[in-house]
């Protein structure tokens, strides 16, 4: 079932406030994939379902006070994102990436290396990794572990925006609505996050160290 199969907005809100259980189940099922993607981008897949469920409880409590300043789905998505951010802060030990040795950060090869795309990931068509030796494949796995570790060290807003954009594949306008940031600010944060991760990749490439 698609979002277009749901009642129009005002009817949808009224029926949900009036405790239409069947419609509520339909909305939850219809919106779950996109809400799950938002939660997973912020807290990971292991607890994304739990985060979405907790967010729906908050939605039920707050729905009678919904003022309609945004679309209902946008409002619900923002609640999911806030729930995910709160869980992430509670469960992660945030360490600033600024503590990493950045003596190598100005190396011009970071930008020009053809093995990496603009977000710092391995290019999928790189034959060296597709047909690589066990040692090369192990190095690729170690690189991914290194990138994952440094992703958790990014400032929160940078991490959220990079994950929502590059992992969840969301449009910037939607991300801005969810995180309540301006378009220009979001693009700056995304650029900084990608740049830092690209630096991590470049260092690993040259030294084999995370």
Task: Tell whether the model's pLDDT for residue 159 goes beyond 60.
Answer: yes
State in Å, rounded, how far the first CA of the chain is from the last one.
45
The class that CATH gives domain 3-91 is mainly alpha
**The model's pTM:** 0.64
Q: What is the fold, at CATH topology level, of the domain defined by 97-207?
A: Arc Repressor Mutant, subunit A (1.10.10)
Q: Model confidence over 138-148: pLDDT tens digits? A: 567 888 888 88
State the CB neighbour count (10 A cutoff) for residue 117: 13
Whether the CB-CB separation of 35 and 164 falls below 8 Å is answered with no
Give the integer Cα–Cα distance in Å for 88 and 15.
33
Element spanning 193, H or E: helix 183-207
Tell which wins on pLDDT, 123 or 61. 61
Tell which wins on pLDDT, 81 or 135. 81
Residue limits of CATH 1.10.10.10 in the chain: 97-207
Q: What is the 3-state secondary structure (H, E, C) of 132-190?
A: CCHHHHHHHHHHHHHHHHHHCCCCHHHHHHHHHHHHCCCCHHHHHHHHCCCHHHHHHHH
Q: Model confidence over 15-32: pLDDT tens digits? A: 999 999 999 999 999 999
Task: Tell whether the model's pLDDT for residue 111 goes beyond 80.
Answer: no
Which of 152, 178, 32 is closest to 96 using CA atoms?
A: 152
Residue limits of CATH 1.10.1740.10 in the chain: 3-91
């Amino acid at each position: 079932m698609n979002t277009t199969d749901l009642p129009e907005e005002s009817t949808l809100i009224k029926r949900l406030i009036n405790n239409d259980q069947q419609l509520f189940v339909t909305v939850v099922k219809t919106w779950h994939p996109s809400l799950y993607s938002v939660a997973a981008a912020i807290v990971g897949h292991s607890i994304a379902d739990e985060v979405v469920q907790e967010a729906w409880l908050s939605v039920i409590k707050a729905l009678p006070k919904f003022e309609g300043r945004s679309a209902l789905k946008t409002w619900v998505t923002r609640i999911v994102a806030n729930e995910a951010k709160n869980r992430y802060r509670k469960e992660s030990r945030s360490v600033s990436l600024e503590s990493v040795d950045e003596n190598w950060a100005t190396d011009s090869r970071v930008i020009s290396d053809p093995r990496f795309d603009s977000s710092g990931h391995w290019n999928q068509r790189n034959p060296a990794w597709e047909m690589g030796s066990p040692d090369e494949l192990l190095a690729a796995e170690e690189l991914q572990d290194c990138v994952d570790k440094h992703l958790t060290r990014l400032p929160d807003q940078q991490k959220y925006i990079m994950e929502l954009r590059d992992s969840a594949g969301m449009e910037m306008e939607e991300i801005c609505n969810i995180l309540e940031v301006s378009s220009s600010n979001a693009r700056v944060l995304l650029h900084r996050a990608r740049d830092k991760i690209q630096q991590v990749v470049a260092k690993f490439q040259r030294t084999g160290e995370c």
